[in-house]
Amino acid sequence: MKFWEDSAKELPDIRSGRISSYGIKYAIVLGTRPEIIKMAPIIKELKQRGIQHIVIHSGQHYSPTMDSNIFKDLNLRQPDYNLRIGSDSREKQIEKIRKSLIRVLRHEEPDIVLVQGDTNTVLAGAYAALDLGIEVGHVEAGLRSYDRRMPEEKNRVLTDSISDYLFAPTCQSKENLLREGFKEKNIYVTGNTIVDAIFQNLSTVSGNSHIADKLRRRLNTPEYILLTLHRPSNVDSGAQLSRILREIAKIPVKYDLEIIFPIHPRTRKMISKYQLWKMIARTQGILATKAIDFLDCLELESKARLVMTDSGGLQEESCILGVPCITLRENTERPETLKVGSNILIGKEYDRLLDYVGESLKKGNGWKNPYGDGEAAQKIVRIVQYSWRRRGHRKENSELVGKALFTPRMSGEKSLLLAEPQRASHSLKTGT
């Protein structure tokens, strides 16, 4: 198997002391917890290099645990703008974010917009940049589950199609893009910024997470399994969610391992809707708790015997941390974890979950991390900076795009409305 470094493009020799910003202004667009976590290394890299940038939060995730607390935990300043979009249908949410972003981008006039992953915010950010003639860089490009029923799959495919820079985390992601006809010159294998985030934060949180320590002390077994569920395909159906919980309830009995279950806000809502709290309360060996911060989750992951999840991010994180994983889905856009042996994809075989748990508990953790060396953020910034220097792009871009693209394009469109700064960020009021 080839890993990310085996076919990574040779990067220009531009070290920190030799690079200047060339007047480039970056806009980092994000909206959910995973995006904040994975963009954090890039934001820190831009800050360290003294490169002008702004951070725009769509408000797609808005509870403190899923949003503002993460900026504090990761030692990031609060975003410059918070659009406060909130929940809505996929189509309405994307359109609200796109329209609001256009107003901010016209006001700020960035040269490049960076988005990460596969959320509604990512696609809206890419579309807004496209509308204004601003270059787009897609961090974590080329992931594919090949399941077009998934909104995430639609978002990542469409975002790739309108991006100027495709930052693929692995060779597999690059190959996916090449098969779809993307030009190789636009694809850069950089590794995954989640490795950067883990390396930057694990030593800090290890042994210092009061939440993780408190949860572990409530267990009756010295070892535990970490469980997370949040995908609509798993939690939005009462029958499916009940089935998963029934099978999971058998695990503590057979393996003398308790399960820590931080419950995502979406999952908590569905458990209440389908009246499943009694089922969870009656189950011996499941410690259900509210959603926890990234650093607490990272600490729990690193000490777990096994991770069971439907999260793409946790598939990556557990692989990097050397913890076996069982993915509670029919498909995955992280096939690298299957190839190295860190992950088992359950498919529809929930009746075999106990067997898969036994198989996972017996395996070691000698697999090779396929996601890079923890320097993905440096590579991404170097690539963009070098590309602009080589093209003399700042001058060309200003002549080509000019101020005209940043003036209202629709008659009657309102000018940018900014509320008073709150914790050094703007709250942008939007209409429906």
Which residues are designated catalytic?
230
Which residues have CB under 8 Å from 428's CB, separation 6+?
Answer: 81, 82, 83, 84, 100, 103, 104, 416, 417, 418, 419
**Angle, helix 312-321 to helix 294-303, in steps of 10 degrees:** 50
Which residues have CB under 8 Å from 196's CB, separation 6+?
Answer: 41, 374, 375, 376, 377
Residue type, 338: L
Cβ atoms of 383 and 11 within 8 Å: the answer is: yes
Cβ atoms of 218 and 411 within 8 Å: the answer is: no
**Other CB atoms within 10 Å distance of the CB of residue 222:** 10
Residues pairing with 123 in the sheet: none
Residue the block writes with tokens 């360290």: 48
**Angle, helix 33-49 to helix 376-391, in steps of 10 degrees:** 60
Cβ atoms of 137 and 112 within 8 Å: the answer is: yes
